Amino acid sequence: MTARRVPRADTAVHGARRRQLAMAVASCALGAALALLAATRTWTVQITRQDAPATVLRTPRTGSALEPWLTALALVALAGAGALLATRGRSRSLVGIVLVLCGLGVLAGGVDGLATVAHVTVAWPVVAIVGALFIGYGGGLAALYGRGWPSMGSRYERPTAPRSPAEDQPQYIGPSASDVAMWDALDRGEDPTRRGD
């Protein structure tokens, strides 16, 4: 029995697709982590002056307080990174589209924070924008090329050889031992349904 050889070109293509999958998952996970980090940090401090007694109240405002959708989209992107591993074919492409939309939402939050929030700490909205770019890149790879990527368990699947026409035909197994015993009892003139006392 000879083992079926896999052509070297097929192995190279399979390896390239596996690397693309790993790159997309890592990119989405990193982008989601950056977006979560940015959303939980203080983007600005709201200052409120009171006359009596004369005090100044400083209220820190995080990215998620200013842009409420940031945390939710970052969590969806993190879940989407895992879903890229668990899905295949058209489903994986759909996950990629969802990830691109998440990236666009996080990007909008970062840009809005830079443009509209007074006295914003520039670093955290920029971190959110960088995270959005990573999420969008990984999602774009999945949307464009995800159908051809291997599934999570495909590394352990045995390659299937083509079946011969004889294997597709129903196989006759033959009578069981109890069937033979029953016919032998009938040949001897005994009732096979009666059990001896």
Region 67-83: mean pLDDT is: 95
**Distance between CA 101 and CA 92 in Å, rounded?**
14
Reported as a single tens digit per residue, the pLDDT across 95-148 is: 999 999 999 999 999 999 999 888 888 999 999 999 999 999 999 999 999 998
Q: Does residue 164 carry a pLDDT above 70?
A: no
User: Taking a C-beta distance cutoff of 8 angstroms, is the pair 78, 160 a contact?
Assistant: no
Q: Given this model, what pLDDT does residue 45 score?
A: 86
Range picked from 52-66, 106-120, 147-161 for highest mean pLDDT:
106-120
Residue with tokens 């489903």: 91
Cis ω on the peptide bond leading into residue 53 (within 30° of 0)?
yes
**What confidence category does residue 156 fall into, taking pLDDT thresholds of 50, 70 and 90?**
very low
> How far apart are alpha carbons 106 and 117 in whole angstroms?
16
Going from the C-alpha of 135 to that of each of 15, 67, 100, 129, the distances in angstroms are 23, 18, 7, 10
* Domain map (residue ranges) of the chain: 13-149
